[in-house]
Structure 1
């Protein structure tokens, strides 16, 4: 330090709890008082707005002024001090069955984005037992976490975490399970109905469901919706072929379905895109064509769906929005308010892997082709 540089006074806070705005000495921390002064409101109003508890207590105009001032000043809350005041760690656990599926990575992305808006962090925890009982990842989850979001897990599998008496939001799980504080779902049943409607409109009547052999609510719901949707279609014949969730398992399940006794199915309806990729391989290995001889559908709309040829007809699941909705529900529960339990819509995405069955006119033309 040169002689003309002033040393900071003893005990001065030179940490990074708040960034310094232009024109302010670098060591000075932007405080909530600075934000209040710039916005022309009280510090209490700043606390309410930045803590997202302002509705009904601060006018929308003043709330916007606070947010603008905080943004322009570069204000960053002192999360450690806030945690001590509120008795919170500002950390949420997201439990998923596996890390190897793109869907859960996208759920995490959405959840983390929504959490950051509230000054929270997210710890991603793949259950060592898949959808089976999830162990408490810490000596005491209650001491290190504010809440839990679990995607595609059963509430009973979370007993160890529930023993910590933490708020719990379930994603893609039974909405009738009252052990969760809130449940957010995708309209999985409607996705299955859209697939059956698409295949039956093309003329398919012999359909085999390559069903994920996983004892979970979401896959049981898909199976029921497929069967119910096809029940009223004249001449329809539905078969079910269980399979694990992998390309290789999908290949073997599709081979069994296509070479088994009785008339060959004209369409394979798969519980996810990974199974469908294996099904496409099985069709080709048997010397058949997708979709001219056999149509194949997936579920999820992963990146894989457009990496295969022909590209997969599938159901698009808004995974990032799903994660965001789950995090918003948990924030609401933490604030002591009743959370919404939305069901997010899904979308059928027709692509080249489906066409009319082999005995229908024009089957050689793929959708959009010549």
Structure 2
């Protein structure tokens, strides 16, 4: 590190860029236009990035940051769930004089462009879904005060975690279907490497392993109706005896399963039961209405923002997972006789 210090200073950035400290302050404070050239500004930003200079953290003293802006990093906005998370986070933020910038990671995976010239200078903290965690490294958001949503508490990039009780949601679905008499299951799983989906698969397998006479097959699909239809149709057409229930990781996957079942000339729930997870608006738009697990997205966002405020103030965030609720509708029924 420059000058042998444990953290670079604005002087280090100035020396690396060949400019004055005043120019560094102007550029990183976004006040450079008309005062230094665009080429000089880019040189300063590049020097700051290479040195790992983080002005927002340099004087951290357990007080609220000075920009009062939080970044919420989510997967691509393909469902209303993350809109609800944003609504809840913004509601709490507004009560404390903060703003929330919503940043959807492209496709939920891979590199993402930095939405700020210097994220560390422009933000006080980050709230991120584990499904979009890959974007954090690209925007260097993992170097700021951080709260992870839907993330393994044992490996959450060093940040605090806020989780829904997804494992209990899967338990509720499984117990509901077992109670109806189902024993042959197809798991339509989200084809995304994410802790939350690993929890769903593990909990489902564990619950069924404890019940004699059950069978479980898993197929994966991207979270889209067309991908789910293709995966479910292939699985149902190629397997005998046919499963009597399809457990889906997401309501959009369940909608794809509906289409697959009907293309094969089967009926829901007479021939096969289907469950989802999320309780999106889609769940009551399809027929029959979908049995699914209700996740309170707005409360999720509220708790995420409350946790980040606690981190910024040097307090311990509230512990405990957020409860979820099984909503039984018309897509599940006892299996028909062989």
Regarding TM over 0.5, the answer is: yes
Give 3-state SS (helix, strand or coil) of 1:153's partner: helix
Partner Cα distance (1:300, 1:359) in 2: 30
1:1-370 alignment, distance < 5 Å: 88-153=66-131, 155=133, 157-162=135-140, 165-177=143-155, 179-359=157-337
Q: Which residue does the alignment assign to 1:57?
A: none
Mark the CA change 1:341 to 1:86 in structure 2 (over 3 Å): closer, same or farther: closer
Query: How far apart are 1:134 and its partner, in Å?
Result: 3.9
Partner Cα distance (2:64, 2:316) in 1: 20
Segments of structure 2 that go 5 or more residues without pairing to the other structure are: 1-62
Q: Deviations over 1:47-68 (max 9, x none)?
A: xxxxxxxxxxxxxxxxxxxxxx
Partner Cα distance (1:154, 1:173) in 2: 11
Segments of structure 1 that go 5 or more residues without pairing to the other structure are: 1-84, 361-370
Q: Deviations over 1:207-239 (max 9, x none)?
A: 000011111111111100110010011110000
Q: Which residue does the alignment assign to 2:10?
A: none
Contact 1:90–1:145 (Cα < 8 Å) also in 2: yes
Contact 1:135–1:160 (Cα < 8 Å) also in 2: yes
Structure showing greater Rg: 1
Partner Cα distance (2:144, 2:192) in 1: 27
Query: How far apart are 1:143 and its partner, in Å?
Result: 1.1
Contact 1:151–1:170 (Cα < 8 Å) also in 2: yes
Contact 2:310–2:317 (Cα < 8 Å) also in 1: yes
Contact 2:71–2:125 (Cα < 8 Å) also in 1: yes
Report which of the two has the higher share of helix.
Answer: 2
What is the number of residues matched between the two proteins?
276
Q: Which residue does the alignment assign to 2:45?
A: none
Give 3-state SS (helix, strand or coil) of 1:274's partner: helix
Identify which of structures 1 and 2 has the higher relative contact order when contacts are C-alpha pairs closer than 8 Å and 6+ apart: 2
Give 3-state SS (helix, strand or coil) of 1:180's partner: coil
Q: Deviations over 1:172-225 (max 9, x none)?
A: 111112523310000111111111111111000010000111111111111001
Partner Cα distance (1:304, 1:226) in 2: 23
Give 3-state SS (helix, strand or coil) of 1:344's partner: coil
Partner Cα distance (2:142, 2:332) in 1: 49
Mark the CA change 1:86 to 1:328 in structure 2 (over 3 Å): closer, same or farther: closer
Point out the more displaced range, 159-168 or 319-328. 159-168
Mark the CA change 1:146 to 1:211 in structure 2 (over 3 Å): closer, same or farther: same
Q: TM-score, normalised by structure 2?
A: 0.78
Give 3-state SS (helix, strand or coil) of 2:315's partner: coil
Partner Cα distance (2:199, 2:186) in 1: 16
Mark the CA change 1:126 to 1:332 in structure 2 (over 3 Å): closer, same or farther: same
Contact 2:224–2:256 (Cα < 8 Å) also in 1: yes
Q: Deviations over 1:291-336 (max 9, x none)?
A: 0000000000000000000000000001100000000000111112
